Structure 1
Amino acid sequence: MAATTGYRTIYPAIIPEGAYHVDLVMSAGHVETNAKTVLAGLVLSSLLIDFQFRSTGSGHIRGSNVDSLPLPKDNSLIPLAVRAYLRLNCLTAAYAPLWKEITGEPWTADVPLRKGRERQEAQNEIDALVALSLDITADELCMIYRTQFPVMRRYDREDLYDANGRKVPNGIRKAHQQNGCEEILSTSQRTWVHPQSKKEYVYEYPFSSLDRENGLREAYGRFQGSVI
């Protein structure tokens, strides 16, 4: 199913070996190499390709849609984008064989990006790298973000991150905003308990939002001129 008016249209993820899913999820893999499967997932995760699907107005994502993907030209930026995409996906040891196969390095608990700020920065890099590889300018990429993803833009304006880069839970965020965004919440008011693990997290001041458009432009400028 494609949420053409939602936060995103496509929500791709790499499924570890041995996992199963229900019929409402579509999965596929390349018959030759896992590297090509990862590349397809990388491209599907980008803002640019999400917009391509969104512009069709279709409520379903089929194999034929994926077959028509404009894969980036092979260049020196692709390995950087692949590494960022793997760090967003390889969250547990179940992905250790894939990480080792693609990067040549052993997987450790330090490989995955877990904090909200780090994850968004990595996604900005992926979006910029795919755009560069497909000869899309930074202005064009940002225009697509501004005009085609209003829900994403609203969330980007509302979401806050603490001094450690962790996304602030909604309850704490709302309490912070109700106090005029003054840094007056007590430690207990800034404490959140994970519902499953019962682990406590204290969200540290200062709180700040992230500017996705500036992040996209910064990443684009950093990699521009590096394509070989």
Structure 2
Amino acid sequence: MNSKLKIGIIDYGVGNTYSIFNALSYLNYSKVLITDNEREIETMDALIFPGVGAFDEACNQLAKRQLVSVLNEQVLVKKKPILGICLGMQLFAKSSDENGLHEGLNWIPGKVKKIDTNNQFPVPHVGWNDINIEKDEPLFKNNTDHVHFYFDHSYHFECDSKFISSWCDYGTKITASVQKDNIFGVQFHPEKSHISGLKLFRSFLSSI
């Protein structure tokens, strides 16, 4: 394990930042910084992009803190590894239907849409759900298929299957995680998923 890895948790006012910080500290990563500072973000080896709340407010906060250009530079040009969590993952999409139509970062082709379970299950989707793993590497190399993670969302990321590394069944097929090159995202909350979540953080960071 590279405990000297410099990890930046992006702070844009709508993230579960301290829970993630505590999880990484528990895993003995000592150089973890919660930041919205462009210069600090540029010095990081890996980024974590949390998110809780509504898509439009998240977009407003990213614009307000002038974070879009530095994130585009670090992720798309410098190819820095990034892990998006819940709303953080959804912001990778081209657009979202939540509270009207809003443009995302457009890093992974796809759209964020309201979950439709045909009234089989309640929305929001809250609680533990097992996932079906399509790609072990790198996020799930320490977890087994049908492992449980904690979800809390009303919207989900619809995209081409080639970008989906895992999914769950909730009356409809819900994208549980995505990956494209150096860009990774999970719909669930690893920081709330106990040992399974810690294993996922370790898998992501040890792959760098």
Which structure shows the bigger proportion of residues in strand conformation?
2
Radius of gyration: which is bigger? 1
TM-score class, shorter-chain normalisation, is: under 0.3
More helix per residue:
1
Which of structures 1 and 2 has the larger relative contact order (alpha carbons within 8 angstroms, sep 6+)? 1
TM-score by length of 2: 0.25
